[in-house]
Amino acid sequence: MNRQFFTVMKFEFMTYLRNKVYVGITLAVVILMAIGLSLPAIISTVQDMGVDFSSDDEPTVSDTIYVVDKTGQAPDTEWFAQLSDTNLWETATEDKIDEIKTRIDEKNASGLLIINEADDYTWVIRRMGMMESGMPAQFQTALGQYYRALFLSEQGLDETAIMSALQEPQLEIVEIVEESGKSMEQTYFYTYLLLFLLYMTVMMYGQLVATSVASEKSNRAMEMLITSAKPMNLMFGKVIGSGLAGLAQISVMLITAGVFYKINEAHLEAISIIKSVFSMPPQIIFYTILFYITGYFVYAFLYGALGSLASRTEDINTSIMPIILIFMVAFFIAFYGMMSPETPLLTVASFIPFVSPMAMFVRISMTEVPIWQIVVSVALMFATIWGTGWLAAKIYRIGILMYGKPPKIKDLAAMLRNAR
């Protein structure tokens, strides 16, 4: 590495820092994270000042739910009211069923429950909403227990025997985490969040490298640069400068999240998802940064090389499509591996350099991975980074002076063999 490399790297890094879109996106994400993590505290403070956010809407006749009992043994309306959010329950006779259905259709009633037999119920409702979708099943279960208790009482059983007969079996699921100390429930959310962050940042900054190279080529600026700097220095400087900009952006986001979580921790502890994310082990942040760096460089050199083959910025998407497809396959392998992180597929994928940045990250986050496997995986990635960087520099030197239709792989391979 020499002065040319550091000059290119500094120029590329400062270009991002002066870019209004880059700064705007970073500030927008920071502000949104700050507001989102502070929202429970803000609501609590406003409520302490006497502002009530609860709804003041009183139930009306249109909220009434009617009960038609054909068994003659149904519970009274107070029993139904205890199982729901409304006290507007009324009993009705069979001859009123059609009339009540009309009221429901005209939005003058909320619903109608017809108890045909002890184990046969009909629920009439105008439209099944998200909040109402569980109500029929809820009352089916409750009424089933009610009628079973009534039957057992008629058989002469006392209340204690009836309660024992109706008691639902208790199921307790115990997750064995002693060996690895990692529970899937606790690790899933932050693994998913950080995996998606890795995917988005590597994809975004890799494409920015390709776009930057193609843009310099299309406006002929690259022809001047190539005469004053070596292709290796240009390629490595550009890729590392962009990578540092991405790393800076990720660091700002992670620091912002950590700071505002600590400030509002007392108000966020009740939200299990947020708590599990911010309860991640500190080494996970280290691995997030490590695999961002390795994943970015593995792909960024290829993005830059293929970007140099495009004569116009409009041709970028076509040129880099193979890299995008490979990266998407790597993401989906890691994503589906989260469902069962100890599968052989994910284990093998964690040693394949183009997949391992995300596959190994998932394994480390959700299971216990032997340190030698991590070392081997990272070493293979660094070797691949150097190899792709060397190859990308050779393609770059050839591609920046080529205009027109990008060469086919066979022709490109022949050019690389003949190049000095």
Q: What is the pLDDT of residue 284?
A: 83
Looking at the chain, the domain(s) classified CATH 3.40.190 span 63-163
H helix intervals, 221-343: 221-228, 231-263, 265-268, 272-278, 282-308, 316-337
Q: What whole-number distance in Å separates Cα of residue 84 and Cα of residue 129? A: 15
Contact 88, 64 (CB under 8 A): yes
Fold classification of 63-163 is: D-Maltodextrin-Binding Protein; domain 2 (3.40.190)
- Beta strands across the sheet bearing 111-117: 89-92, 65-69, 111-117, 120-125
Torsion, Cα 105 107 108 114, to 10 degrees, reads 50
CA angle centred on 140, ends 139 and 142, rounded to 5°: 60
What confidence tens digit (pLDDT) does each residue in 53-80 have?
555 455 455 678 888 888 777 777 777 7
Provide CB contacts within 8 A for 83, sequence distance 6+.
138, 139, 142
Per-residue pLDDT reduced to its tens digit, 144-202 = 777 777 777 766 666 566 566 555 555 444 444 444 445 555 677 777 778 888 888 88
* pLDDT in the model for residue 181: 45
Tell me how crowded residue 327 is: count the other CB atoms within 10 A of its CB.
Answer: 24
What DSSP line would sit under 387-401, residue for residue? HHHHHHHHHHHHHTT
pLDDT-flagged residues of the chain (< 70):
1, 47-62, 83-87, 126-139, 154-186, 216-229, 231, 310-315, 397-420
Question: Rounded distance, CA 77 to CA 66, Å?
Answer: 9
What would you report as the CA-atom Rg of the chain, rounded to the nearest whole angstrom? Answer: 32
